[in-house]
Amino acid sequence: MAGVTINPVSPRTFELLEMETIESQFPVAFDDGSGFPMFTAYCAQCNSPIENQHLRGIVARPRRDIYSIEAAGACFACKIATPVHYRLHQDGTMTGMSPETQKWTRWDKRPGFFQGILHKLFPGRF
């Protein structure tokens, strides 16, 4: 990914890589039945999905309406570890630092997967 600064691996990143997989801590569900069935992180350098067995860390629930993810993902193609810090909200949004803008950002998991594909294939029609 152009413009990404790769920092040395921190001691905390090494700790996270020794923890259980993020996949093993999903799905997460809120009291109203909503939730997130899965989570995928991407390499900060090549933007490829990080394989589930190499994305490790902690999924915590600091509030009833938020799950937090603190993790690190190892990309063996790039030989780097990508730190991951996001919050999953009960309203279906996710917040975290945008890799592109380096600003705190809110993403919406809606619209659905297929609507997103249709929007990209047929701009302006969906």
CA angle 113, 116, 118 (to 5 degrees): 110
Contact 73, 80 (CB under 8 A): no
- Split at pLDDT 50, 70, 90, the class of 126 is very low
Instruction: Please state the domain extents for the chain.
Output: 11-121
Task: Quote the tokens at residue 104.
Answer: 């705190």
Higher pLDDT, 108 or 86: 86
Task: Kindly state the average pLDDT of the residues 10-17.
Answer: 94
Burial classification of residue 8, based on how many CB atoms lie within 10 Å of its CB (0-12 exposed, 13-18 middle, 19 or more buried): exposed
- Sheet arrangement for strand 55-63: 55-63, 66-75, 80-89, 93-97, 104-108
- Split at pLDDT 50, 70, 90, the class of 38 is very high
Burial classification of residue 67, based on how many CB atoms lie within 10 Å of its CB (0-12 exposed, 13-18 middle, 19 or more buried): buried
Whole-structure pTM value: 0.78
Instruction: For 61-84, write each residue's pLDDT tens digit.
Output: 999 999 999 999 999 999 999 999
Separation of alpha carbons 67 and 84, rounded Å:
13
User: Is the pLDDT at 8 greater than 90, yes or no?
Assistant: no
